[in-house]
Structure 1
Amino acid sequence: MGQVVLVTGVSRYLGGRFARRLTRHPGIERVIGVDVVPPPHSIGDAEFVRADIRNPIIAKVIAQAGVDTVAHLNVIATPTSAGGRVSMKEINVIGTMQLLAACQKAPSVQRLVVKSSAAVYGSSPRDPAMFSEDMGPKSLPRSGFGKDSVEVEGYVRGFSRRRGDVQVSVLRFANIIGPGISTTMTDYFTLPVVPTMLGFDARLQFVHEEDALDALAAATVVEKGVGLVNVAGDGVITVSQAARLAGRMTVPVPMQLSGWVGQVVRRSRLADFSPEQMQQLAYGRGLDTRRMREVLGFEPAHTTMQAFQSFVDAGRGPKPVLMPRLVETARSAQGWVERQANVG
């Protein structure tokens, strides 16, 4: 018999596409997708079950279906799409706790795959050129998605100790980008004016959405768990290079004003930036992907540059909403820089 896979977060873009992709895999017999709302897109032959992973009822879904593999993709990076930061925290942290408690009680569960993020490494001026999986952050994320991801991984480690018989794989993805996915980073590069950190030109790594799906599929069907694995496309691209490729006007903003600019962008509903994301745009982040190749046995089809180019080629132009306000904010920041220079 083939695997019975439960996929969380199927109403979101990546989760829905992943569930649909698994239904075409010859080694998988049944795919069950769960979420709090029905998916707005096709999930192929996967079965949809309306269930909230924050509710203990998820244990009944796992037990009744005889699920042997759980793919947890419902860790949300954008507060706006989750209904706010409080709701996002509940889904990410409380939801993961309940899901793992259900997995712990289910003897049928033999594999756990968790979509995590390189945000667990944070971003700081003391970072190494490349983070390997055995390295910790130099500056621990203190809020937002990064902090949630750190907590989620902590709960997964606890689960792994309690259920040593379960094969566990945690994939730490670089920023996922592509022609269809919408993230804080794609929102950033579709701004009519892109704020950059004055004096910095961060190195960014991306992974193409198709490669992200393929990596998750590889971890789902592999016989042994791979533990922690970084997933990213080869090479890096700087913020200035990416902005030029996207055809965006940039304005340098001092680090002291990055929080203010982030608030204006959030309130304008143009993008959803946390302080940690603003730090990444200043200091960047690099991932060592040797374990991806040697342990997971996965080779991305796209480099970082190719992944970003696919996003640009999709023709996702700048958002017109409240564009005058953002331009005014950019001019105010530029004026502050000039006044400080004159004072100096």
Structure 2
Amino acid sequence: MGKIVLVTGAARQLNGRFARHLRRDPGVDRVIAVDSAEPIHPLGDAEFVRADVRRPAIATVLAEHAVDTVVHLDIQDAPASAAGGGRAAVKEVNVLGTLQLLGACQRIPSLRRIIVKSSTRIYGGGGADPAVFDEDAPPALPAGGGFARDVAEIEEYVRGFARRRPDVAVTVLRFADVLGPLGESQLAGYFRLPVLPTLLGYDPRLQFVHEDDVLDVLSRAVVDPDRPGGLTAGTFNVAGDGVLMLSQAARRIGRVTLPLLPPLAPWVGSGLRAFGVAGISAEQFRSLVRGRVVRTDRLREAMGGPLEYTTAEAFADFAATHGPPVRPQAAVARAVERIEEVLRDG
């Protein structure tokens, strides 16, 4: 008998694509795709159930379908849409939603495996941090909260669940920034801006993971560990080989950069968003000041090799879809003036 897998966050395009992809695995009998909103994209043979991970009813869904594997992807750094609420709403879904889901999973005797999406942003990006992080590096807990704190709290809850249910294999996947043709991550929104705000004197190192590699790694985590390339329980960094400097990425996607003085950094994101210029939050901009690079030796050993796409290749595939033609000089000048006006008024 094949696996019965529940996937959260199915209304997001990449998560919905994973549900379709997973249903084609011969070792999977059923895929239950869950979200509080109706997906606008097809889910193939996956069965959609409208349910909110923040509500106790998620336990009923798990029990009714005799789920043995949970893939928790409903963890995001920004709302699914402009109408999705602010930072408080995102935190509620991320942290309280995960807590509710884990509480429900704890009471399901059929459960054998849980995979949780996390982020390399858990490591922070301070000036005293190591040049390269491995999975044993302690998480950063920024005083102001934000997505990095969300994933740190989520992972703490996951460790508590693993202690209470040692019979369940728990896999945590810390993804670098995801890029590809879909381009639905917050960082993708930044690179779609006509002019890229940067911080004067900083050229951070960046790592990316391609959307196709995300699907591959998640699938390997679902399959039995004794199958070739399957991922056992544990924590894994997931990023394409190599790095790109922010200046290199800007040139490759054909964007003009606007270096800002450090005192203006707190206004970037929140100030632009207040004036209707979307694409980056203040927290996301702070994460671009120094960037971060992670080791992926543990993942490479488990998979028997690197991911299909390097960091540069993942960015190139994103840029091929989302990189606009060269803009007229007048249009670029207007974009620069607009950003300067927003920051000046802020």
Common fold, TM-score beyond 0.5? yes
Give, in angstroms, the shift of residue 142 of structure 1: 3.6
1:282 and 2:296 correspond: no
> Partners in 2 of 1:334 and 1:65 — Cα distance?
52
Structure 1: state its 5+ residue gaps.
Answer: 336-344
2:102 to 100, 120, 124: 100
Q: Give the superposed CA RMSD.
A: 2.2
- Going from structure 1 to structure 2, the CA distance change for 1:333 and 1:62 (only over 3 Å counts) comes to closer
Asked if residue 116 in structure 1 is aligned to residue 118 in structure 2, the reply is: yes
Letter in 1 for 2:13: Y
Q: Separation in 2 of the partners of 1:287 and 1:248?
A: 26
Equivalent position amino acid for 2:311 in 1: T
Q: What is the rounded CA distance, in whole Å, between the counterparts of 2:314 and 2:143 in structure 1?
A: 26
Q: Deviations over 1:144-172 (max 9, x none)?
A: 22111111111101100100110000000
Partner of 1:328: 337
Counterparts of 2:279 and 2:107, CA distance in 1? 37
**Which residue in 2 is equivalent to 1:291?**
298
What is the deviation of 1:264? 2.4
Which residue is 2:69 aligned to? 69
In the aligned structure 2, how far is the partner of 1:86 from the partner of 1:323?
34
Q: Where does the alignment leave 5 or more consecutive residues of structure 2 unmatched?
A: 226-230
CA deviation after TM superposition for structure 1 residue 324, in Å: 7.9
Q: State the SS of the aligned residue for 2:337.
A: helix
SS at match of 1:31: strand
Contact 1:127 1:137 in 2 (8 A): no
Tell me which moved more, 250-259 or 166-175: 250-259
Counterpart Cα distance in 1 of 2:305 and 2:153? 26
2:233 equivalent to 1:226: yes
Residues 146 and 276, structure 1, Cα contact 8 Å, conserved in 2: no
Measure the CA separation in 2 of the matches of 1:250 and 1:67.
Answer: 48
Residue in structure 1 matched with residue 228 of structure 2 by the alignment: none
- The equivalent residue for 1:340 is none
Please name the residue that 1:147 is paired with.
149
Report the AA paired with residue 328 of structure 1. E
1:172 aligns to what?
Answer: 174
For 1:330 and 1:267, locate their aligned partners in 2 and report how far apart those are by CA, in whole Å: 12
Shift in CA distance, 19/269, structure 1 to aligned 2, threshold 3 Å: farther
Letter in 2 for 1:193: V
How far does residue 197 in structure 1 lie from its aligned partner after superposition? 0.8
| Contact persistence 1:123–1:276 (CA under 8 A) | no
Answer with 219-228 or 95-104: which moved more.
219-228
Measure how far apart 1:325 and its partner are: 7.4
Q: Is the 8 A contact 2:133 2:293 kept in 1?
A: yes
How many residues are matched?
A: 333
- Confirm or deny that 1:196 pairs with 2:198: yes
**Which whole-Å CA distance do the structure 1 matches of 2:191 and 2:135 have between them?**
28
Q: Tell me which moved more, 224-233 or 157-166.
A: 224-233
Residue in 2 aligned with 1:304? Answer: 311
State the distance in 2 between where 1:297 and 1:46 align.
Answer: 29
Corresponding residue for residue 88 of structure 2: 86
Answer yes or no: is the 8 Å Cα contact 1:219–1:296 preserved in 2. no
**1:16-70 CA-partner distances (Å, limit 9, x unpaired):** 0110000100100100001011110011100000111111111111111110000
**1:244 and 2:265 are equivalent in the alignment:** no
- Shift of the 141–118 alpha-carbon distance from structure 1 to 2, 3 Å rule, reads farther
- How many Å separate the matches in 2 of 1:199 and 1:62? 51
**How does the TM-score come out when normalised to structure 2?**
0.90
Maintained 8 Å contact 1:54/1:96:
yes
1:160 aligned to which of 159, 162, 166: 162
Query: What whole-Å deviation, never above 9, does each CA across 1:204-233 have from its counterpart, x for those lacking one?
Result: 000000001111111111337331100000
Question: What is the CA distance between 1:270 and its match in structure 2?
Answer: 3.5
Are the counterparts in 2 of residues 253 and 333 from structure 1 also a CA contact under 8 Å?
no
Cα deviation, residue 296, structure 1: 4.9
Counterpart CA distance in 2 for 1:163 and 1:311 is 40
Which secondary structure does the structure 2 equivalent of 1:55 belong to? coil
TM-score, normalising length: structure 1? 0.91
Partner of 1:187: 189
The structural deviation recorded for 1:126 is 1.3
Contact 1:70 1:113 survives alignment (8 Å): yes
Aligned partners of 1:138, 1:190: CA distance in 2, in Å? 28
Q: Deviations over 1:231-287 (max 9, x none)?
A: 000000011000011111111112211111222222244435344322221111001
Cα distance in 1 between the residues matched to 2:76 and 2:69: 21
| 235, 238, 262: which one aligns with 1:255 | 262
Change (3 A) 1:152 1:242: same
Provide the rounded CA distance (Å) in 2 between the counterparts of 1:164 and 1:297. 27
Greater mean deviation of Cα atoms: 217-226 or 20-29: 217-226
